[in-house]
A and B are shown apart, each in its own frame.
Chain A
Amino acid sequence: MLGLNSRDLKLFLLVVAMTMLAPILLNPFPADSALGESFNAGYPALLQRFVIFGLLVIGFNILFGLTGYLSFGHAAFLGVGSYAAVWMFKLLSYNVIPAIILSVIVAGIFSVVIGYVALRRSGIYFSILTLAFAQMMYAIAYSDLVGKFLGTIVTNGETGLQVYADDPQILASPGDPVLPHLFGLEMNAQTVLAVGGWEFTFQFGYYLSALVMLAGFYLSIRIFRSPFGMMLRAIKSNQTRMSYTGLDTKPYMLAAFVISGCYAGLAGGLMSSMDPLTGGERMFWTASGEIVVMSILGGVGTLIGPVLGAGLIKYLENIISKINDGILHQWFAFMPDWLDNLLVTIIHPFVGKGWHLTLGLLFMAVVIFLPGGLMQLGEKIAALFGRKTKSDDDAKTGATEPAE
């Protein structure tokens, strides 16, 4: 069905179910319980981030996972996508459709140019070139250098680009919402379902992003299983043999780079659609680093791994950075005071503002012990229980299965 083999189809349907039910699944605790306040993740702002970053790393995975080319400047495309979308809001109207379309096109154009140059080199040189391009674009956006050059606003520098009341918005009609909407349906329109002590929020913006992410995920499965995907893995494996087999690696690489850039642009467009304000820091190299971290953490080269990685990082970021000493004391209240204080002192540097420390350590641990990321951990656990491993790694078994 859907042109997928049965295992991919199962995976896809599972992801569909998870994203559709996420507002419920991620709110396992009653809303005003202590656990709920700390661990519930089913609120729209966070859910949006799950799917948007998920989309971003799905695209990154097509480049890094299949071809092995490590781009350290991928956030640049996210950034241009965001700017493009906000410009559409400013010029046309708050309708998200033109914004999202333009964000993909603009990111595509940028990735053609950058890819054409950066792909002339490989290995670490490619990483540094992409990093250099991204940093350059960050500097340009953050100080609005293009704007200064042209004598107008392009990125609006440090303030960030946003929509003002006197913007033309030529397609907007008087009754339109003054926030991003889809033909009148506002992004932040939501219904709240209260069941007992539980509260589930279903937000339109989240579901729109989720649908886009699912479409992106579906496309990435198709790409992974296509001859094109096989060529990309062949490039990762042996470029010499590629060219002596009569295949030109350059257009394949460029296509992968551009597809990957378009995914990032799409994610940027969605980000602006959820919150029509964007700034240069979205392109800073730490943002690119985060994309890499997410993919590695989840398991690069696998279909679902990077999405899990993105989800985990965004979840932990929200949960861990919310924890403060007060909450810790609350948790350890049952212990003797000295133990309570000791534990709080030990944990303190790793939570709240120290969340990046936890992230750094977690990331290092994964690179050192689990080069295959969470997916590898899953396989190991499955193997431990004696089950046949079910990796979705195409390289091993997927592509050689008989056709459905």
Chain B
Amino acid sequence: MDVILVQILNGLDKGAAYALIALGLTLIFGTLGVVNFAHGALFMIGAFCAVTMQRFLNLSQTVIDETQTDFLGNPLKVEVPYVQSWFGEAAGAAIQDWSVPLSILLVIPVMLFVGWAMERGLIKHFYKRPHADQILVTFGLAIVIGEIIKAFYGANPIQTPMPSAFIGTIDLGTWLGMDPGAVAYPMWRMVYFFFAAAVIAAVFAFLQFTTFGMVVRAGMADRETVGMLGIDIDKRFTLMFGLAACVAGLAGMMYAPILSPHYNIGMDFLVLSFVVVVVGGMGSLPGAVLAGFVLGILQSFASMNEVKAILPGIDQIIIYLVAIIILLTRPRGLMGRKGVMEE
């Protein structure tokens, strides 16, 4: 029992990341009808926002500390981060420690801007072009974004520590009356899961309870009719794209402590997220979320040593295997509707 629970928990954070990216992909596809191969790049931009925030908060000035002397007897020069000199030592250090969650302040404006720029500058010209063209141009954009990041941050993964309060594990097992240590779960992963759940809930609430959301859902059901109702679809499309970019960015930002960001991280996640979208059913939001978690958890089960002993390496191929089986048995995915992406 506890073994199963551990694997489910292990799959949750990765599943949550897949679900968030797939959610954005589906939103873009459902409303704009665009297949966005650059969505992984948006995830990566979010992760690098966290890196940038961390660097920014660690910017230091050199001050002369009169109270200390170096070995020559001169006053000691020390590096003091600006935040510490502005907010005082303790508060400054705390801010630095919380740099990843704090980068939300950076992520949201940056992602909205990037989303807006992408949609207005590029994507909108491709609404009428074939899906193959959309795939190709966004694929090109993904390469370009990845290379720009590489030019600024280098090719190596950059460690981005989580707040020290979340280092370590929680002993979930004891809550459920199991032996202590049976189910130890890294705290940050827990945080990630709840964060992702909150974002997903927010997106669904937004779509469910606002007029804007209603129009978007109507648009997903039948784009042409909504266009004919005299609703200004264009502005909403742009905002929708910005929103999807934000979701991807937030997913990337919070994932930075789990997987050190590097310029290719977006592509790695994109391929899997596309598989997730297709498994969930093109155009279905709940399908995307469900498939994200299901595949994340499946992957975690497949990486158990007991399973790998029987089928070595199954953890690396399980997602693709499942995707192939699902596409062949349920051609529209788990929750797909008829008539989406079909000739």
Q: Which residues of A contact B (CB under 8 A)?
A: 68, 70, 117, 120-125, 127-129, 131-133, 135-136, 139-140, 143, 145, 148-149, 239, 285-286, 289, 292-293, 296, 349, 353-354, 356-357, 359-361, 363-364, 367-368, 371
Contact = CB atoms under 8 A, between A and B. Distances in A.
B125 interface: yes
A128 B274 contact: yes
Interface of B: 35, 122, 125, 129, 131-133, 135-137, 139-144, 146-148, 150-151, 267, 271, 274-275, 278, 282, 311-313, 316-317, 320-321, 323-324, 327-328, 331, 341-343
Given A123-B342, A368-B137, A143 B147 contact: no
A239 B342 CA distance: 12
A140 B151 contact: no
Contact of A129 (B132, B139, B324): B324
- The secondary structure that dominates the A interface is helix
A129 B317 contact: no
14 contacts: A121-B331, A124-B131, A128-B275, A128-B327, A139-B320, A143-B313, A145-B312, A149-B311, A286-B267, A292-B136, A296-B136, A359-B143, A360-B142, A363-B143
Given A131-B271, A139-B316, A149-B312, A122 B343 contact: yes
Contacts of B316: 139-140, 143, 145
Contacts of A364: 137, 140-141, 144
A164 B328 CA distance: 42
A124 B135 contact: yes
The interface centre, meaning the residue of B274, B316, B320 with most chain A CB atoms within 10 A of its CB, is B320
Nearest to B325: A117
B275 A357 contact: no
B125 A70 contact: no
Given A123-B342, A132-B324, A360-B146, 11 more contacts: A120-B328, A121-B331, A124-B278, A127-B135, A129-B323, A131-B271, A135-B320, A354-B147, A356-B147, A357-B147, A359-B143
Nearest to B324: A132
Given A292-B136, A349-B151, A360-B143, A129 B327 contact: yes
A296 B324 CA distance: 27
Given A136-B317, A143-B313, A128 B144 contact: no
A371 B144 CA distance: 19
Contacts of B142: 360
Contacts of B144: 357, 360-361, 364
Nearest to B321: A136
Contact of A125 (B137, B271, B278, B313): B278
Nearest to A64: B132
A360 B133 contact: no
A68 B320 contact: no
Contacts of A121: 327, 331
Contacts of A289: 139
A367 B321 contact: no
Given A70-B132, A125-B278, A131-B271, A357 B148 contact: yes
A363 B341 CA distance: 25
Contacts of A360: 140-144, 146-147
Contact of B341 (A124, A148, A293): A124
B324 A239 contact: no
A296 B275 CA distance: 24
A125 B144 CA distance: 25
Nearest to B311: A149
Contacts of B341: 123-125
B32 to A, nearest CB: 14
A23 to B, nearest CB: 32
Contacts of A120: 328, 331
Q: Output the residue of A117, A129, A285 with the most chain B CB within 10 A.
A: A129
B135 A70 contact: yes
**Which 4 pairs between the two chains have the least Cβ-Cβ distance?**
A360-B143, A145-B313, A357-B147, A364-B140
A384 to B, nearest CB: 24
